[in-house]
Amino acid sequence: MNQHTPAAGLLCSGLIGYCRAGFEKELAGEIDDLAAEAGLIGFVRAQPDTGYVVFETFEPTPLGSFGEATDWRRPCFARQMLPWFARVEDLPERDRATPIVDAVKASGQRFCGVVLETPDTDEAKQRSGFCKRFTEPLAKALEKAGCLRSSRTGLPVLHVLFSDATTAWLSAGQNGQCAPWPMGIPRLRMPSNAPSRSTMKLAEAFMTLLEEGERDNILRAGQRAVDLGAAPGGWTWQLVGRGLRVTAIDNGPLRDSVMATEMVEHLKADGFTWRPQRPVDWMVCDMVEQPSRIASLMAEWIATGKCRYTIFNLKLPMKRRFEAVEQCRELIRKRLHSVGPFDLRIKHLYHDREEVTAFLTLKR
């Protein structure tokens, strides 16, 4: 993080990461590693099925000292990653605003906006209505206290996470460092004519794994793509919707709505052995197979120049999920080490369950 950003001097108490309930252990391991890399001394607290993980430093630390540890893109299992500076407990039901405003004033930091959030659990979602109702009153109270300057660009956004009805974690969301969506979840609608819900996974992958300007440059109408394990056509449908011509590889059938686009060639073949006669721009893969086998296949396509970019899904074992992801990273690294520098991004998306989604390309 730039030492000269408006929030660089904010004293923070640690990091807080949001995740899918049940993946706290995996995220805790990642946050611990990131904190150690940044030279932060503290401890991790993670409770099963809560949907969030906290790293707490032994001493308050200037935000500018956190380095890249606050970048939400780095940990695979984090939907959001934020530096937190206050935990407000025992909030009174009749006046939750005053203790929160007091904590913000005590920090000495001003903010350009405020976002109220809950963990993504069934129990916490019951507070989502309250968060919507409380956002405006809290914003007005913060503004009155001089803590909110909506006209000031460059200031962080105040994130208020209600972990329960009487506890709020206050964090500073820096532009470019935190996920741009509330709770770290992109809001996508299921298209009525899509062949399967899996199309949402690829749509989210494009939003999450690629930067906005990057999407415009490397994902363009007229490009050629291959979809390995395409049936019933959810990922192919997403590519076609963006104007790409797709060769769909699967022994199973594709939905009529996909074939009706006239932008798809369906070949009944084995996704592990089939190769295109000419290099393509994109290859995507959502085959159900051991993650190590998929990772090796993806690295092979990139190493041999069969495609320039790939997005793929890795199905994880119920146990040792973090270890499975790291094994796949290492397999890809070994295959591409002699080829050249590469860019590998892996995320546990909102639409992923016991799986993660990855983007891979050679650096050019």
Q: Where are the domains of the chain?
A: 11-183, 198-362
286 marked ligand binding residue:
yes
Indicate the range of 74-78, 194-198, 244-248 predicted with least confidence. Answer: 194-198
Residue range 98-104: mean pLDDT, rounded:
98
**Looking at residues 180-208, what average pLDDT do you find?**
91
* Residue in the block written with tokens 């807080």: 16
- The verdict on whether residue 33 carries a ligand-binding annotation is no
92 is in an annotated binding site: no
Residues constituting the chain: 364
- On the question of pLDDT at 294 being above 80, the answer is yes
In one letter, which amino acid is 158? L
pLDDT of amino acid 196: 86
232 labeled part of a ligand binding site: yes
In this predicted structure, what is the pLDDT of residue 67? 87
The per-residue pLDDT for range 326-357, each reduced to its tens digit, is 999 999 999 999 999 999 999 999 999 999 99
| Alpha-carbon span 21 to 38, nearest angstrom | 26
Using the predicted structure, report yes or no on whether residue 111 has a pLDDT greater than 90. yes
| pLDDT at residue 282 greater than cutoff 80 | yes
What pLDDT does 237 receive? 95
- The secondary structure of residue 66, as a DSSP letter, is G
What mean pLDDT comes out for the span 179-195?
89
Quote the tokens at residue 177.
Answer: 């460092």
Q: What is the pTM of this model?
A: 0.93
Asked whether residue 256 is marked as a ligand-binding residue, the answer is no
Q: Which residues are catalytic?
A: 315
**Residue 141's pLDDT band (boundaries 50, 70, 90)?**
very high
Higher local confidence (pLDDT), 9 or 357:
357
Any binding-site annotation on 227?
A: no
What does the pLDDT read at residue 6?
67
231 in a known ligand binding site: yes
pLDDT at 2 exceeding the cut of 50 = no
Residue 248: the pLDDT is 98
Average pLDDT over residues 50-68: 94
- CATH topology classification for 198-362: Rossmann fold (3.40.50)
Instruction: Label the pairing between strands 52-62 and 42-46.
Output: antiparallel
| Order of strands, sheet of 52-62, starting from the edge strand that comes earlier in the sequence | 42-46, 52-62, 11-18, 80-88, 167-173, 157-164, 113-117
pLDDT band of residue 19 (cuts 50, 70, 90) is: very high
On whether 71 is known to bind a ligand per the annotation, the reply is no
The helix (run of H) or strand (run of E) holding residue 324 is helix 321-336
CATH of 11-183, one of 3.30.2130.30, 3.40.50.150, 3.40.50.2300, 1.25.10.10: 3.30.2130.30
Residue with tokens 């992109």, as numbered in its chain: 186
> What are the distances in angstroms from CA 195 to CA 7, 75, 191, 233, 241?
46, 31, 9, 6, 12
The burial class, CB within 10 Å (0-12 / 13-18 / 19+), for 151 is exposed
State the Cα–Cα distance between residues 323 and 31, nearest whole angstrom.
Answer: 15
Q: Which amino acid is at 134?
A: F
